[in-house]
Every structure is written in structure tokens, then in C-alpha cells.
């Protein structure tokens, strides 16, 4: 039986959007023609809050959420993929170090032994990836025939991983209808050209690599908690 890839995500809109993205990625040939015999994404992500909430009290909530997933899915659990926004402005904050720290604490809840964990920060936000793929969204309608991103949207001056910091605000300013996280995240995830995002966004490529690590861990039975210090 295929093992589950369970997603932990930050906001309400990502509950359906992130599993849909993972399903799209797994459908690509790069993960191998037999991928579905090994893994399948859970249909809805677990909402776990932001990085600050997971770090409190020596990562108590983070470890508790992992244990809850382990208890719920038992032997079906193949891996947990944690995707958080990487828009922290704390002095000296580094997404790589934060991800390594989360992965390390996940081991206390069993990660790396009978299931795997991968931690990824979307830079700067999940919506920043839509900005990178804006050309493929512009002028198109979304579910229900509603207009989405304006054909004449105003491209940001900065690289999407550097700005705008408020990616949701950029979408609101360039949408033909009000941007609604719980609706448009899923709609845009299904529509956007992933090749455009891949070419622009290193954190998206990190997600792809992390997903490959989770799939290979299930295939081989050699589980991992990633990223880690070599």
C-alpha cells in the first residue's frame, strides 16, 4: 500500500492548495513512473500556525503535531512535509538554519526512523510563487469563470524572493476581483506554470528536492529528517 505524504502548512488557504501542488509535482516524470505505488499526498494539509508558534516551549507544538499525525496514520505515514512562509524580518533570521532546527527537533517525535520529515520555507510567501508565475495567470479566469490576475498587471521591481514582502497585497492590487486566500490559493496552484516558478524561485526548487527525498525514503525504507547538517 502506498504511504501518505502528509502536509503541514501555515494558513487556511494552504489546506487544499499545498496538497494540490504536491500532487502536481508527483505527477511529473522526474519522480519516476512508479511513484504512485509508493506514495500519495493526503488531501488536506494540517494547519500548524507560523514558525513562532512551532518554536515555543522548546518546539512543544511542533513535536506534538508530529506525534498526532503518527498516531492518526500509524503505518500508513510515509513522510511529513512542513511548508511555512519565509517572510520573517527577525534580525539574523536564516530560513536554512530554522529548517535544520525544526528537522532536528522532529527526530524527538520519531522522524528519521519509521517515517520522514522535510521542512521548507516558501520565500517570501506561498503567494510569492504566484508572482513568479504571473505570466501564466494573467488575463485568465479561475474556477467559476471569475476573472483572476489582470492581463495588465504591474510587475514588481524586486525579484519575487526579495519582494514585495506583502505578496498577498500585491495580488490584491493586481486582481480583477478581490483576492481571497481560501479560494485563489487552490485555483492559482492548479493553473500556474510550474516551470516559470522553478526557473525563478530557489525555495520552490528546495520543495521539489525535499519531495524527492521523501519519495526515495519511502522507496528504500531509509527515512530522513531534512534538511540536516552533514
pLDDT (tens, 9 = 90+) of the chain, 230 residues, equals 899 999 999 999 999 999 999 999 999 988 988 999 999 999 999 999 999 999 999 999 999 999 999 999 999 999 999 999 999 988 899 999 999 999 999 999 999 999 999 999 999 999 999 999 999 999 999 988 989 999 999 999 999 999 999 999 999 999 999 999 999 999 999 999 999 999 999 999 999 999 999 999 999 999 999 999 76
Q: Which fold has domain 3-123+201-226?
A: Rossmann fold (3.40.50)
In the chain, domain spans:
3-123+201-226, 127-195
3-state secondary structure the chain: CCEEEEEEECCCCHHHHHHHHHHHHHCCHHHCCCHHHHEEECCCCEECCCHHHHHHHHHHHHHHHHHHHHHHHHHHEEEEEEEEECCCCCCCCCHHHHHHHHHHHHHHHCECCCEEEEEEEECCCHHHHHHHCHHHHCCCECHHHCECECCCCCCCCCCCCCCCCCHHHHHHHHECCCCCHHHHHHHHHHHCCHHHHHHHCHHHHHHHHHHHHHHHHHHHCCCCEECCCC
Amino acid at each position: 500500500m502506498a504511504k501518505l505524504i502528509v502536509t503541514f502548512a501555515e494558513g487556511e488557504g494552504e489546506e487544499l492548495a499545498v496538497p494540490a501542488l504536491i500532487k502536481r509535482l508527483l505527477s511529473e516524470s522526474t519522480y519516476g513512473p512508479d511513484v504512485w505505488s509508493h506514495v500519495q499526498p493526503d488531501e488536506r494539509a494540517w494547519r500548524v500556525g507560523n514558525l513562532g508558534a512551532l518554536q515555543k516551549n522548546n518546539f512543544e507544538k511542533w513535536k506534538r503535531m508530529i506525534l498526532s499525525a503518527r498516531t492518526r496514520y500509524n503505518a500508513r505515514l510515509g513522510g511529513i512535509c512542513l511548508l511555512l512562509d519565509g517572510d520573517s524580518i527577525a534580525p539574523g533570521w536564516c530560513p536554512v538554519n530554522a529548517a535544520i532546527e525544526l528537522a532536528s527537533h522532529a527526530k524527538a517525535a520519531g522522524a528519521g526512523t519509521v517515517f520522514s520529515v522535510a521542512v521548507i520555507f516558501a520565500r517570501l510567501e506561498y503567494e510569492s510563487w504566484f508572482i513568479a508565475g504571473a505570466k501564466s495567470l494573467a488575463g485568465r479566469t479561475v474556477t467559476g469563470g471569475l476573472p483572476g490576475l489582470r492581463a495588465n498587471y504591474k510587475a514588481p521591481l524586486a525579484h519575487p524572493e526579495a519582494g514585495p514582502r506583502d505578496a498577498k497585497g500585491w495580488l490584491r492590487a493586481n486582481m480583477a476581483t478581490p483576492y481571497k486566500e481560501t479560494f485563489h490559493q487552490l485555483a492559482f496552484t492548479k493553473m500556474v506554470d510550474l516551470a516559470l516558478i522553478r526557473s525563478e524561485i530557489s525555495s520552490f526548487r528546495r520543495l521539489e528536492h525535499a519531495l524527492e527525498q521523501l519519495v526515495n525514503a519511502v522507496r528504500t525504507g531509509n527515512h530522513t529528517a531534512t534538511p540536516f547538517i552533514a
